[in-house]
Amino acid sequence: MTDTPAAHPTDPFDAKAFNAAEGLDPVDPAYAKVLRIATALNLIPLAIGVSVFDHLLIRHVDGPYGLLTALAWLAAIVVILAFPARRVSRWGYRIGDGQLRVARGWLLRTDTIVPFVRVQHIDVGQGPIERWFGLSHLIVHTSGTHNSTVTLPGLPADLAAAMRETIRRHIQTDFA
């Protein structure tokens, strides 16, 4: 019988193994669509600008006309299709035991633990693209200045509201 070795729980290339080993819940997969649309809204004007530059300038200097346009649109398409899904798979969270834990990132991994006793106030935000997909983001403001705001995006709207209420109840209990 041969056993295949499991991925090490801290293997940066295996986000699902890391989140599962750490007991973290993933953000909603629909958040990848939100990121794709937001990325497209940022990159498409840039690609259009490069196309205009290619059309107006490169053609007058006898350069390779169309090369910049093709590269700009290819890069935009690759970034829009590939990167959002990778970013979503690198987010995880866990609420409980008087704290909120948020882990994110691949190359630069950040694992933040916010004790509820340090929470000053909590916001649930929702942009127009998030609203379209029924998602929200939870913003936890803590005491202190460095890293005093922790944002957890990609939550279903009802879950974000429930998490806010859970944290609020803990805050009231701690100060009662």
First-residue to last-residue Cα distance in the chain = 59
pLDDT in tens, the chain (176 residues): 444 444 444 554 455 555 554 689 999 999 999 999 999 999 889 888 888 888 887 767 776 777 878 888 899 899 999 999 889 999 999 998 889 999 998 888 889 999 998 899 999 999 999 999 999 999 999 887 777 899 999 999 999 999 999 999 888 765 55
Instruction: State the architecture of 92-175 in CATH terms.
Output: Roll (2.30)
- C-alpha 146/C-alpha 157 separation (Å) is 28
pTM of the model: 0.76
94 has which bridge partners? 101
H or E segment and range at residue 92: strand 92-96
